[in-house]
């Protein structure tokens, strides 16, 4: 039976979204492995002269020669060529008593440091010192008569002789035998050790040696990438399952990782410093839209993956851990653009300190400090500030919302809120009061106060369509709803929700703000007109749907808080006395009625949250409705 149900769910496509989201992670793993620089060997050790060997004891797996350094080869070539003599041959028909070459040839011999030349005659060469070789001008000055040029360089023979001479120079000096220890963990890499290690790296470049190693290397990379991404998926499954159920969130995480890892791989391919890449983008941008723990976990996963291919993985990993922790700690909630600059400055300082400390700990010398690293850190800090532009792009692409956008939306001088204040001043004041109540309650229970404040300011914008039908906007006029059929009156009141959604979409408000508009009454009844209809038609059946808001019910703590605050604030205005007992009784009755109606069944509110909200509402409403003393008049 269970197998049949599972087959039915698969055929009906129930697991299709889940499979798609997991497929995104699989695709990311494949792309990452393809992006990794394809080294020609399996020799991935990083080492520098004067720094300790940070890997396990290294022994030779096979015999390999020790190659001379480039400087050694150049020096030996120069010494060898100093004994080389270029070859010349006689020009037919010209007298041979004096050796005469052109002025240009003489200059060439001087520039290259040759002191002798070889003259070929009858397939036999004879060497002459350069002092016995003349140009036409010097020959005339020396002998007193004109001498024609009779020697020309034999370029073919000269080049062949030069190549034979250079070929006799050995590029190696010594041999490391299989099983021989090369270096121990913690040993300081000397010039000699560096030369041997470079020779081993060169030996791995040999196709006959590196084929198996390359295959195993790619396999190891693939396993590590899959392992790290699997741990990320497990984290979300255990601690943030709602992230894993959201396709847009999964795509957002994977896109972030792809961008940063791709930049890192490009830097490695083109020989740029890995520290130019702003890895802080991931914790900063993730923290703006999500929570700190997820930001850090995503950052750690990314730097673990990049550590597979960077030259100095331990140093890189430690420095980037510091970057992630500083980024998240200094940007708990970004509400101002200037915070990004401050965060970048802290990251620059932390990177510099971490690099300096690690270098001192490894070498204990000032000379090991690379000054260029601090320039790389400074450039990276500037690029970190550029994450602000990415935040805007991600908001539009995935319909997320940042604290900066929420701050901008709470500006009461914005066009939409200014219009609300003009057309429906009572509704505007009501929204302001609700926003204060809701934000205070959100702070108390750990919800997003800025988000609920923003939602509260816009939750009743639909009343702009017919402002005079709502009591808070009626000044000195009779309520027109009271003269209407209760069903029609309820329809007019309910319409402010759908009208509000239309206005919000027309002004391109974020979806999360629109959700407050559609859910702030849930699926509750317009009680005033529902009760009026029932009292006037006691024996007739009641179509409750005519008096019911379309919903949906709130699904978040913030949505529930706004629903409570809206109802409680409106109820408080109908009180005849504003004592603490009267306000507390009104708050409790209103919230109890909403709970009994099941309006908060889909929210994660706890009993403690509800009690804290009651307490905050009561205290705030008492302060908002306090009585002022009556000023005495002046007796005349």
Residue 5 covered by a domain: no
Q: Which two tokens stand for residue 524?
A: 């509750």
Residues 428, 386 share a domain: no
Quote the pLDDT of residue 123: 75
Decide: helix, strand or coil at residue 120. Answer: strand
Q: Which two tokens stand for residue 338?
A: 């200037």
Q: Name the residue with tokens 């500030």.
A: 385
With bands split at pLDDT 50, 70 and 90, how would you rate the model's confidence at 496?
A: very high
Q: Could you count the other beta carbons within 10 Å of the beta carbon of residue 259?
A: 14
Q: How far apart are CA 389 and CA 319, in angstroms?
A: 25
Residues 218, 78 share a domain: no
The answer to whether the CB of 140 falls within 8 A of the CB of 146 is: yes
Residue 327 covered by a domain: yes
Q: What are residue 277's phi and psi, to 5 degrees?
A: -80, 125
pLDDT in tens, 124-178: 888 889 888 999 888 888 888 888 888 888 888 888 888 888 888 888 888 888 8
pLDDT in tens, 177-186: 888 888 887 7
Q: Give the Cα-Cα-Cα angle 296, 298, 304 (nearest 5 degrees).
A: 100
Domain range for 588: 414-624
Residues 384, 438 share a domain: no
Domain boundary among 131, 148, 167: 167
The answer to whether the CB of 18 falls within 8 A of the CB of 329 is: no
Residues 418, 379 share a domain: no
Please write down the HEC assignment for all residues of 581-595.
HHHHHHHHHHHHHHH
Residues 228, 104 share a domain: no
Domain boundary among 105, 136, 167: 167
Percent of the chain exceeding pLDDT 90 equals 44
Residue 377 covered by a domain: yes
Decide if pLDDT at 2 tops 50: no
Q: Which two tokens stand for residue 235?
A: 């984290």
Q: How far apart are CA 371 and CA 356, in angstroms?
A: 10
Residues 357, 273 share a domain: yes
Residues 340, 218 share a domain: yes
Domain boundary among 103, 138, 167: 167
Decide if pLDDT at 462 tops 90: yes
pLDDT in tens, 321-352: 999 999 999 876 666 667 888 999 999 999 99
Q: How far apart are CA 604 and CA 106, in angstroms?
A: 94
Residues 289, 377 share a domain: yes
Quote the pLDDT of residue 237: 94
> Residue 453 maps to which CATH number?
1.10.3210
Residues 239, 126 share a domain: no
Residues 258, 333 share a domain: yes
Quote the pLDDT of residue 392: 86
Strands (E), 452-533: none
User: What is the mean pLDDT of the segment spanning 214-218?
Assistant: 79
pLDDT in tens, 18-39: 889 999 999 999 999 999 986 5
Residue 121 covered by a domain: yes
Residues 228, 91 share a domain: no
Residues 433, 378 share a domain: no
Residue 197 covered by a domain: no
pLDDT in tens, 412-438: 889 999 999 999 999 999 999 999 999
* Total domain count, the chain: 3
> Which strand (E) or helix (H) includes residue 211?
helix 207-239
Q: Give the Cα-Cα-Cα angle 523, 529, 535 (nearest 5 degrees).
A: 120
Residue 21 covered by a domain: no
User: What is the mean pLDDT of the segment spanning 543-548?
Assistant: 89
pTM as predicted: 0.69
The mean of the pLDDT values for the chain is: 87
Query: Of the given ranges (165-179, 444-458, 512-526), which has the lowest mean pLDDT?
Result: 165-179
Q: Name the residue with tokens 């720094």.
A: 51
Quote the pLDDT of residue 6: 44
User: What is the mean pLDDT of the segment spanning 582-605?
Assistant: 93
Residue 29 covered by a domain: no
Q: Which region, left, alpha or beta, applies to residue 244 given φ > 0 means left and ψ of -120 to 50 means alpha?
A: alpha
Residue 102 covered by a domain: yes
Quote the pLDDT of residue 45: 72
């Amino acid at each position: 039976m269970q197998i049949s149900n599972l087959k039915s769910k698969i055929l009906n496509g129930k697991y299709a979204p889940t499979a798609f989201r997991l497929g995104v992670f699989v695709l990311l793993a494949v792309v990452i492995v393809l992006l990794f620089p394809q080294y020609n060997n399996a020799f991935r050790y990083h080492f520098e002269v004067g720094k300790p060997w940070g890997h396990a004891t290294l022994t030779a797996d096979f015999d390999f020669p020790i190659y001379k350094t480039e400087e050694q080869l150049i020096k030996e070539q120069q010494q060898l060529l100093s004994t080389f003599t270029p070859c010349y041959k006689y020009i037919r028909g010209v007298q041979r008593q004096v050796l005469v070459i052109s002025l240009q040839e003489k200059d060439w011999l001087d520039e290259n440091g040759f002191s002798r030349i070889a003259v070929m005659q009858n397939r036999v060469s004879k060497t002459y010192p350069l002092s016995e070789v003349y140009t036409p001008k010097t020959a005339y000055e020396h002998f007193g008569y004109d001498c024609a040029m009779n020697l020309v360089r034999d370029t073919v023979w000269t080049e062949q002789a030069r190549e034979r001479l250079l070929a006799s120079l050995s590029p190696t000096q010594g041999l490391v035998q299989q099983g021989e220890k090369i270096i121990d963990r913690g040993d300081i890499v000397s010039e000699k050790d560096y030369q041997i290690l470079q020779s081993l790296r060169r030996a791995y470049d040999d196709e006959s040696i590196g084929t198996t190693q390359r295959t195993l290397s790619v396999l190891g990379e693939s396993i590590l990438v899959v392992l790290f991404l699997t741990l990320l998926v497990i984290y979300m499954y255990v601690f943030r399952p709602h992230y894993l159920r959201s396709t847009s969130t999964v795509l957002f995480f994977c896109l972030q990782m792809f961008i940063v890892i791709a930049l890192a791989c490009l830097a490695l391919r083109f020989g740029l410093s890995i520290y130019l890449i702003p890895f802080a983008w991931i914790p900063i941008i993730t923290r703006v839209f999500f929570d700190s723990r997820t930001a850090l976990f995503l950052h750690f996963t990314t730097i673990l993956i990049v550590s597979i291919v960077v030259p100095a993985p331990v140093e890189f990993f430690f420095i980037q851990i510091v970057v992630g922790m500083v980024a998240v700690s200094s940007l708990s909630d970004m509400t101002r653009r200037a915070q990004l600059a401050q965060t970048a400055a802290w990251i620059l300082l932390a990177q510099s300190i971490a690099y300096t400390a690690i270098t001192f700990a490894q070498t204990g010398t000032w000379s090991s400090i690379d000054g260029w690293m601090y320039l790389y850190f400074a450039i990276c800090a500037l690029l970190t500030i550029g994450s602000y532009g990415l935040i805007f792009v991600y908001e539009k692409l995935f319909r997320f919302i940042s604290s900066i956008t929420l701050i901008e939306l709470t500006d009461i001088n914005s066009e939409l809120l200014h219009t609300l204040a003009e057309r429906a001043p009572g509704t505007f004041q009501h929204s302001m009061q609700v926003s204060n109540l809701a934000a205070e309650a959100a702070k108390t229970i750990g919800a997003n106060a800025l988000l609920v404040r923003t939602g509260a300011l816009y939750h009743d914008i639909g009343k702009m369509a017919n402002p005079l039908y709502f009591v808070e906007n009626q000044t000195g006029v009779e309520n027109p709803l009271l003269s209407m059929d209760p069903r029609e009156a309820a329809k007019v009141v309910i319409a402010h929700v759908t009208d509000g959604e239309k206005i919000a979409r027309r002004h391109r408000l974020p979806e999360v703000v629109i959700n407050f508009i559609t859910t702030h009454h849930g699926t509750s009844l317009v009680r005033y007109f529902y009760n009026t209809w029932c009292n006037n038609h006691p024996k007739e059946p009641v179509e409750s749907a005519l008096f019911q808001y379309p919903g949906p019910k709130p699904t978040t703590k913030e949505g529930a808080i706004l629903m409570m605050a809206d109802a409680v604030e409106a109820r408080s205005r109908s009180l005849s006395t504003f004592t603490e007992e009267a306000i507390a009784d009104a708050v409790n009755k209103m919230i109890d009625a909403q709970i009994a109606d099941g309006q908060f069944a889909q929210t994660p509110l706890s009993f403690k949250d509800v009690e804290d909200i009651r307490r905050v509402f009561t205290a705030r409403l008492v302060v908002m409705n306090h009585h002022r003393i009556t000023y005495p008049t002046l007796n005349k």
